[in-house]
Structure 1
Amino acid sequence: METFPEKISAAVFLSGLMPGPALNATTLYTKAINALITQLDTRITYDNGPTNPPTTVIAGPKYLTTTIYQLSPIEDLALATTLVRPFYLYRAEDVSKEIVLSSKRYGSVRRVFIVAAENKALTKEFSELMIEKNPPDEVKEIEGSDHVTMMSKPQQLFTTLLSIANKYR
């Protein structure tokens, strides 16, 4: 969005972080990671030694069941548990260097934020914070959706994305 804003009709944020020129990506990333690493059976690794920050996080089956896929079909949860891989944790300094967003370029792209109503991984309060500090052009909500909306409410997601595409083309 920062590099080619003229090529984007609208950016859609769903179950993800929505940084902006006035809402630092490092702050959002740090809050999200700190919430994740304290959850249930989530495991963290310290590949650079125990005195250094954690390097990866691995979501455990309890966390996936109760927080990520709690409303998704059981088959999708079963598949997800077999596909779990370590998620690399970037250092805050690296995030702040890599993600620099300007009002002129990033801010010129129309944004739509979709709230997954039953998302326990990205709470409603956290979503509201992002919306308040970095207001999108439009906010939509998908009722009865967990963090993985494409699994828990695929038809509603399709309809929502189609309406966004038609509106912002």
Structure 2
Amino acid sequence: MEKREEKEEERHFVLVHGAMHGGWCWYKVATLLRSVGHKVTALDMAASGINPKQASEVCSYGEYVEPLIEFMKALPWNERVILVAHSAGGGCISVAMEQFPQKISVAVFAVALMPGPKLSFAALVEEFTQALSKVPNGEGLEKKTATVAAVAWHDRLGSYYKQLSSPEDIALSNSLMRASPIFNHDEVFEKQTTFTEEKFGKVARVFIMSDQDRVMNEDFQKWMVDLHPPNEVNKIDGSDHSLMFSTPIKLFSCLQNISNKYY
């Protein structure tokens, strides 16, 4: 008698992009996840992807993250999702973790900023911005704000952090990237990005490292992990900062393994 192949249990992955990108950047990984039966939602934050707002119209971090927060609010009370963030998107899913811990089975930080109760998002962004000034062509980026900084990043570092990605993906990114709002580290910003052990701390966290990230280098990644260790750390060899472009199959496999363990 032939053994019947078991169907993959459907899980819901919610993918959150980094600065200047949109839900479009996940097209390879989303296709792979859907091909094995999973549900995938790739969101656009405010002024990103096809979201109609412009960067100059987004006045607060809360407004920037609003598409994710509204999505989480609309989820049925008994549905849990797997949040996956890339780069600056780590701040977005951290806000969702603080507000909706009961709706998240695991939060995955794919070379993403990972704030927490012991590391404020403002301090993390400041440290990261300082690190950017030390990469080739990055001088002075830490002194720019708002749209100007995003445009400067795109013009000067765009190909640098996609050095292992295909020419086609680099061309796609160059045609679809948009200026992102960058927020001052004032009292309102801090209030909108406060994380506690009672809420944020209840959600399982997994950090995915990239071994050839030229922007968020291994030392910076290890620094975040050491400050407040996640439940698990994985590493994808042969990946640049944009690992959804450079190593989509490895990232897909890693997400599959994480979902099997934590869902």
Q: TM-score range by the shorter chain?
A: 0.7 to 0.9
For 1:101, what is the secondary structure of its paired residue?
Answer: coil
Q: Which has the higher helix share?
A: 2
- Deviating above 6 A after TM superposition, structure 1's stretches of 4 or more consecutive aligned residues are 41-44
Q: Could you tell me whether the CA contact under 8 Å between 1:42 and 1:60 is conserved in 2?
A: no
Please report the TM-score for the alignment, with normalisation by the length of structure 1.
0.86
**Does the C-alpha gap of structure 1 residues 38 and 81 become closer, same or farther in structure 2, counting only changes over 3 Å?**
farther
Higher relative contact order (CA 8 A, sep 6+): 1
Counterparts of 1:88 and 1:35, CA distance in 2 = 19
Q: Could you tell me whether the CA contact under 8 Å between 2:132 and 2:138 is conserved in 1?
A: no
For 1:32, what is the secondary structure of its paired residue?
Answer: helix
User: Alpha-carbon deviations, 1:122-154, whole Å to 9, x = none?
Assistant: 111111111000100000000010111111000
Partner of 2:244: 150
Q: Could you tell me whether the CA contact under 8 Å between 1:20 and 1:101 is conserved in 2?
A: yes
Deviation at residue 60 of structure 1 after TM alignment: 3.6
Deviation at residue 33 of structure 1 after TM alignment: 2.5
Partner of 2:124: 28
Q: Which amino acid aligns with 1:75?
A: E
Counterparts of 2:190 and 2:155, CA distance in 1 = 31
2:228 paired residue among 134, 146, 169: 134
**Does the C-alpha gap of structure 1 residues 84 and 36 become closer, same or farther in structure 2, counting only changes over 3 Å?**
farther
User: Alpha-carbon deviations, 1:101-140, whole Å to 9, x = none?
Assistant: 0001100111000001111111111111110001000000
Q: 1:18-57 alignment to 2 at 5 Å?
A: 18-36=114-132, 40=137, 54-56=145-147, 57=149
Partner of 1:163: 257
Percent of residue pairs identical: 35
Partner of 1:9: 105
Q: Could you tell me whether the CA contact under 8 Å between 2:146 and 2:183 is conserved in 1?
A: yes
Is 2:65 the partner of 1:65? no
Counterparts of 1:20 and 1:41, CA distance in 2 = 27
Is 2:181 the partner of 1:88? yes
**Does the C-alpha gap of structure 1 residues 89 and 114 become closer, same or farther in structure 2, counting only changes over 3 Å?**
same
Counterparts of 2:140 and 2:193, CA distance in 1 = 27
Counterparts of 1:79 and 1:42, CA distance in 2 = 26
Q: Which amino acid aligns with 2:102?
A: E
Unaligned runs of 5+ in 2: 1-96
Larger CA deviation: 28-37 vs 123-132: 28-37
Counterparts of 2:146 and 2:158, CA distance in 1 = 20
Is 2:211 the partner of 1:120? no
Q: Could you tell me whether the CA contact under 8 Å between 2:164 and 2:239 is conserved in 1?
A: yes
1:77 paired residue among 166, 170, 173: 170
Deviation at residue 37 of structure 1 after TM alignment: 5.6
Counterparts of 1:41 and 1:129, CA distance in 2 = 21
Aligned Cα root-mean-square deviation (Å): 2.1
